[in-house]
Amino acid sequence: MRRIKLLEVRSELGAGTRGASMGIDALKVACLNKGSDYFRRFNSVQVPDLNHVLFEKNHFPFARHIDSIYQVQKGIASTVEQTLRLGEFPLVLAGDHSNASATIAGIKAAYPHKTLGVIWVDAHADIHSPYTTPSGNMHGMPLALSLNDDNRECQRNQPAAETEFFWQRLRDLGEPGPKVAPEHLVYVVVRDTEAEENAIIERLGIKNYQLDEVRSKGIRQVAREIYERLRFCDMVYISFDVDSLDSRFSKGTGTPVEDGLNVEEAIGLCRALLENDRVVCFEMVEINPTLDQENTMANNAFDILEAATDAIQTRLRLAEVISR
């Protein structure tokens, strides 16, 4: 990979609270206020969204707007795949976290014969399906899609046939079947889960580095352990939801949760994780300035984004030197 490319994904169809579509622009305001030239340094592409359907009636109570989400996610997956095939590093700035399953599908479409590891930095497990969701919001479902596991053992809903049709199409996005194996998924600071999610996490044996463990071991040690767990993965995708931050720092997100990372810890974690040369994509999601005061979340998130980007660029430059 030669350079970073910004992928701007403004879709917020999967969220339960409106406003995440403005997260990218809030980051740009933070960038301007800090006197940074960040958004002038990188080429960017905007992936089309269908946020206008939020004004229309939803016909899918257990997977809200799934028909439109499928259309949006096809565009996301295709853009990620093309970016990777051009030898660029996709840095995805997205609205809600449902978009992440399309990012994963795009990575697998570009590298179908490689094994993908996923590091999920988030307050939430996002492993519900239409069969288990308590809300119907699809930002709680991306990992069920990527793992190809509906958790039918904990079924509480009976989705309509049309919902099941689009759900299957989403599961097959990029390539049919699972994109990620459970042993190749690692959670960091996940702490707000439902019983159905706890059951599937236990059944699949997914590791979750909770905050106490991160602080007791230290960020560098946790990063080393994560990559030891992912030692059989050819490539790694990192997804950073801003609600991984403690709610003192994360008012500007749809579902803030207390007892999370502080900003300095998040910066250190992203730096440590992004130094690994197997990382092929980084994504930041769920900034919602409509819930914020004085753009605080976007200011904090921009500091994290700049640090993460610096770590990526340092690694790309080193790889270029070595390849010579």
Q: d(Cα 10, Cα 12) in Å, to the nearest integer?
A: 6
226, 209 in Cβ contact below 8 A? yes
Q: d(Cα 16, Cα 102) in Å, to the nearest integer?
A: 19
The pLDDT score that the predictor gives to residue 161 is 98
Q: How do residues 27-48 score in pLDDT, each as one tens digit?
A: 999 999 999 999 999 999 999 9
Q: What's the token pair of residue 273? A: 């994780």
319, 1 in Cβ contact below 8 A? yes
Angle, CA 226 vertex, CA 222 and CA 227 arms, to 5°: 120
Burial of residue 293 (CB within 10 Å: 0-12, 13-18, 19+) is exposed
Q: How do residues 175-217 score in pLDDT, each as one tens digit?
A: 899 999 999 999 999 999 999 999 999 999 999 999 999 999 9
Q: Is the alpha carbon torsion for 15, 194, 151, 58 positive or negative?
A: negative
Could you tell me how many helices (H) and strands (E) the chain has, helices first?
A: 11, 8
Average pLDDT, the chain: 96
The letter for the amino acid at 192 is D
pLDDT > 70? residue 323: no
The pLDDT score that the predictor gives to residue 250 is 75
Q: How do residues 143-178 score in pLDDT, each as one tens digit?
A: 999 999 999 999 999 999 999 999 999 999 998 999
The pLDDT score that the predictor gives to residue 324 is 61
Cβ partners under 8 Å of residue 228, min gap 6 = none
254, 202 in Cβ contact below 8 A? no
Element (H, E) at 110: helix 100-110
Q: How many residues can be counted in the chain?
A: 324
Of residues 183, 40, 14, the one with CA closest to residue 102: 14
Can you give the pTM of this predicted structure?
0.97
In percent, how much of the chain has pLDDT > 70?
99
The pLDDT score that the predictor gives to residue 90 is 98
Q: d(Cα 261, Cα 269) in Å, to the nearest integer?
A: 9
The pLDDT score that the predictor gives to residue 251 is 86
pLDDT band at 248 (very low <50, low <70, confident <90, very high): confident
User: How many Cα atoms sit within 13 Å of 174 on the Cβ side?
Assistant: 30
Of residues 134, 140, 147, 120, the one with CA closest to residue 195: 134
Instruction: Give CA separation, 180 vs 141, 148, 273, 278, 310, in Å.
Output: 14, 8, 19, 15, 27
The pLDDT score that the predictor gives to residue 320 is 74
Higher pLDDT, 255 or 13: 13
The pLDDT score that the predictor gives to residue 175 is 87
Q: d(Cα 16, Cα 139) in Å, to the nearest integer?
A: 8
